[in-house]
Structure 1
Amino acid sequence: MSLLASPAPGSVARERALLLLAGAAAAAVLPALVRRARRRGLLPATAAAAGTDEGRSTTSSAGGGAGAYETRKAVDEYLQFHYGRPEDILPYDCGPKEALRFAERLAMLCERHCTALQDFTGERKPPLAIDVGCAVGGATFELARAFPHVLGIDYSQTFVNTANTMKERGWMRYRAVEEGALTVERVAAVAEDIDRGRVRFQQGDACNLPAELGQVDAVLAANLLCRLPDPAAFLARCTSLLRRGGVLVLVSPFSWLPAWTDKGSWLGGYTDAEGKAVWSADTLKAILSVHFDLVEEAEVPFLIREHRRKFQWGCSHAMVWRRK
């Protein structure tokens, strides 16, 4: 089925998503589609087509945007989130224990469904996984338990530098807030049974991944989609990035905010021109089913510690897709 095929009547979410994914291959017809979509109210007048820079947020870190990840505060918070011991993050008998060990559970989703890991014939190259939006590398290292080669990519150079420090020496100090201005120093560490030599990190843009990456067997994108200026461009790239049979693991709370993603590029969380609610999961199913089979959906809770008596509990929607 063509990415430019007309949607079924009333399927405005599908038409909007297909329009965003049209990309360079449809350059000759894209302007007409954009005009038609704007007339029907599927895209606002300032919405960007996939592959352009319109609508990209330049908001400071105080209100969101990529700059939020370049601070020492963000590094400390993510080191704690990715590597903190469960008893340090949630030191109480009460509380959502099932939301701990987020990075480990993400890696297990990839491992469970990647058929390349079950190929013992030796006729193909060793499986390769990419963790897009890897932050400080927690899930990237967990993927290395099963995958012989893992690449972590993040837009934040500060996060990539931190992840490389974790690779080089296996640990890094961070400060956790206890109460007010009171903090405690802790150590983030990669598990000793993980081969850090299997992992590498590089800075990169999820909306413009380089062709030099070739094709891979698994792509993990955890809590990433709703932090991208152009999530449709990332999804379109995943089609060529994955080998046939490869798995795309999308995990997202769908926390769409204009500071990160121009509203015209949201995949859901709004009402269409007919007044119907558009849900992100439905949009993903509409656009990815062209080249992928949905093999699992799951609820993936996570817990972020702000201080010892305040936490952010979230529940991301996980979707595992296999490339046709």
Structure 2
Amino acid sequence: MAAVGGIDRKLMPLVAASLGLSAYAVYWLRRSNSDTAVPGVYESKKLLNEYLAFHFGKPEELIPYSFGPKDALDFPKRCAELCLKHFKSKDIGRSRALDIGCSVGRSTFELARAVNEVIGIDYSQSFIDAADTLCREGEIPYKLVQEGDIFSEAVATVPRDIDRTRVFFEQGDACALRSDLGTFDVVLAANILCRLHHPKYFLDRLRQLLPKPGSLLVLTGPYTWLHQFTDKSLWLGGYVDANGKAITGFQRLQQELGPYFELLEQVEMPYFIRETARENQWAVAHATVWRRK
């Protein structure tokens, strides 16, 4: 069993949390002896610019052609809209939502259209710093790579009709959330399950975050299980079990969540991440909507 400094790597998030270490420190400890992962993978300026474009980029900036997968744009906004489609604020009084893995915050802001208080949490300090700037100033400049070292200037802007005073951001680890976070009426976790070091820790915590019957959980994911992020023994899906049966991520979600949540809807959600003017990522996330029993 792999260990660093005499500590089992699987226990590091809990040990670090008890010592008051940051999520980034946990990440560095877990990956410092890895040949395939880079500490602080989400802390680069390049990735920050890409995610600001992913969340706030204008269609003409992201796909400046007469063709292309334009239905895949605005993925973070569409995730929030999927939450709000099933959310009934008038039935619960003052409402709270959690956007875990919020990145630079577009979904968090969009949830504030109908939710009284929204907390966005992300592993990356640079993402949270950008989200805080957006919350405070309403906009932040960033750069779009055209090719090589050629860039164009862009500005990420929070829609003016959103009340930013409802929104709060903090840096944290989805697998070791602070104990006093409270409870929520809506939890959104977009495309993070296959990027967590212990995804089952997160799934187990959901019962505490969403204790009230009728509260909503929305999960999305491309199910790209990678050992650089999650030890293979901890993958939720994407493996063949001892009996030769293929286990998918959705099957495990049904197994883990089914006793506590009712599945309301499944949606195939394309998304588009711009890298340069001519090379980009197109993928499809599987979105599931669950209601607490």
How does the TM-score come out when normalised to structure 1? 0.80
Task: Determine helix, strand or coil for the equivalent of 2:134.
Answer: helix
Q: Distance in 2 between matches of 1:183 and 1:323?
A: 46
Once the two structures are superposed, the pairs formed by residues 204-243 of structure 1 within 5 Å of their partners are: 204-242=172-210, 243=212
1:8-27 per-position Cα deviation (integer Å, ceiling 9, x unaligned): xxxxxxxxxxxxxxxxxxxx
Q: Distance in 1 between matches of 2:116 and 2:36?
A: 39
1:53-74 per-position Cα deviation (integer Å, ceiling 9, x unaligned): 7x97415999546611112112
Partner of 1:168: 136
> Which is bigger in relative contact order (C-alpha 8 A, separation at least 6)?
1
Partner of 1:16: none
Q: 1:219 to 1:66 in 2, by over 3 A?
A: farther
**2:252 maps to 1:252:** no
Q: Distance in 1 between matches of 2:36 and 2:10?
A: 21
Q: 1:68 to 1:188 in 2, by over 3 A?
A: same
Query: Which 4+ runs in 1 deviate beyond 3 A?
Result: 46-53, 59-66
Greater Cα radius of gyration, structure 1 or 2? 1
Question: For the aligned residues, what is the CA RMSD?
Answer: 2.3
Match of 2:162 among 191, 194, 203: 194
Match of 2:58 among 85, 101, 109: 85
Partner of 1:285: 254
**2:234 maps to 1:265:** yes
Alignment-mate amino acid for residue 264 of structure 2: V
Between Structure 1 and Structure 2, how many residues are aligned?
274
Identity of aligned residues (%): 48
| Contact kept? 1:65, 1:260, Cα under 8 Å | no
Task: Determine helix, strand or coil for the equivalent of 2:175.
Answer: helix
| Contact kept? 2:197, 2:229, Cα under 8 Å | yes
Partner of 1:23: none
Measured after TM superposition, the shift of residue 104 of structure 1 is: 1.2
1:188-236 per-position Cα deviation (integer Å, ceiling 9, x unaligned): 1111111111101011110011221221100000011011000000000
Q: Distance in 1 between matches of 2:39 and 2:167?
A: 24
Match of 1:138 among 103, 106, 112: 106
Q: Distance in 2 between matches of 1:285 and 1:137?
A: 28
1:223-253 per-position Cα deviation (integer Å, ceiling 9, x unaligned): 1101100000000000111122111100000
Q: Distance in 2 between matches of 1:185 and 1:60?
A: 38
Q: Distance in 1 between matches of 2:34 and 2:271?
A: 23
Task: Determine helix, strand or coil for the equivalent of 1:106.
Answer: helix
